[in-house]
Structure 1
Amino acid sequence: MDAPPSPLRRYRVPALLFVVTALGVATAALHVQGLLPARVPSASEPFHYHQYAQVLRHVRSDGDVDFASVGRERQALDGFVQSLASFSPHNRPDVFPTSEDALAYWLNTYNALVLQQVVDGYPYLENVRQPWLGRFFWGRAWPVGGERLTLWALENRVLRTEFADPRIHFALFQAARGGPRLDGAHFQPEYLDAQLNDAGRRFVGDKRNVELDGDTVHLSRLFETYRDDFLAALPEGRGGNVLQFVWAFLPDTCEERPGCATRGDLDRACGPKLDRCHIVYSPEDWTLPDAAAREPRP
Structure 2
Amino acid sequence: MDAPLPSRRRFLIPIVLLAALGALGALYVRGMLPASVPSADKPFHYHDYAQVLRHVRADGDVDFSSIGRERADLDRFIESLASFSPHLREDVFPTSEDALAFWLNTYNALVLQQVVDGYPYLESVEQAWLGRFFWGRSWRVGGRRMTLWSLRHRILMGEFADPRVHLALFQATRGGPRMEGSHFQPEFLDAQLNEACRRFVGDKRNVRLDRGTLHLAKLFDTYREDFLAALPEGRRGNVLQFVWAFLPDTCEERPGCDTRADLDLACGPKLDRCKIVFEPEDTALPDAAARAARTER
TM-score, length of structure 1 as denominator length: 0.94
Q: Distance in 1 between matches of 2:135 and 2:55?
A: 28
Deviation per CA, 1:166-206: give whole Å up to 9, x if none. 10001000000110011000000000011001100111111
Q: Structure 2: how far apart are the matches of 1:114 and 1:257?
A: 29
Superposed, 1:1-298 pairs within 5 Å as 7-126=4-123, 128=124, 130=126, 132=128, 134-236=131-233, 239-293=236-290, 294-295=293-294
Report the Cα offset of residue 129 of structure 1: 7.7
Percent identity of equivalent pairs: 73
Contact 2:170–2:178 (CA<8 Å) still a contact in 1? yes
The alignment's C-alpha RMSD in Å is 1.6
* Distance verdict in 2 for CA 1:42–1:129, change over 3 Å: closer
* Distance in 2 separating the partners of 1:31 and 1:195: 31
Query: What is the deviation of 1:237?
Result: 6.0
Supply the AA of the counterpart residue of 2:211: G
Q: Which runs of 5+ in 2 are unaligned?
A: none
Aligned-partner Cα distance in 2 for 1:151–1:138: 6
Distance 1:203 1:134 in 2: 23
Q: Which ranges of structure 1 fall in alignment gaps of 5 or more residues?
A: 1-5
Q: Aligned partners of 2:236 and 2:109: how far apart in 1?
A: 36
Instruction: Name the aligned partner's letter for residue 131 of structure 2.
Output: G
Q: Which runs of 4+ in 1 moved over 6 A?
A: none
Q: For 1:130 and 1:262, how far apart are their aligned partners in 2? A: 33
Q: Separation in 2 of the partners of 1:16 and 1:130?
A: 36
| Whole-angstrom CA distance in 1 between matches of 2:166 and 2:36 | 30
Contact 2:126 2:133 in 1 (8 A): no
- The answer to whether the Cα contact below 8 Å between 2:125 and 2:133 also exists between their aligned partners in 1 is no
Give 3-state SS (helix, strand or coil) of 2:209's partner. Answer: strand
How many angstroms does 1:238 deviate by? 6.9
Contact preservation (8 Å) 1:205, 1:260:
yes
1:107 and 1:172 in contact (8 A); partners too: yes
Q: How many aligned positions are there?
A: 291
Is this contact kept in 1: 2:235–2:241, CA < 8 A? no
Contact 1:200 1:249 in 2 (8 A): yes
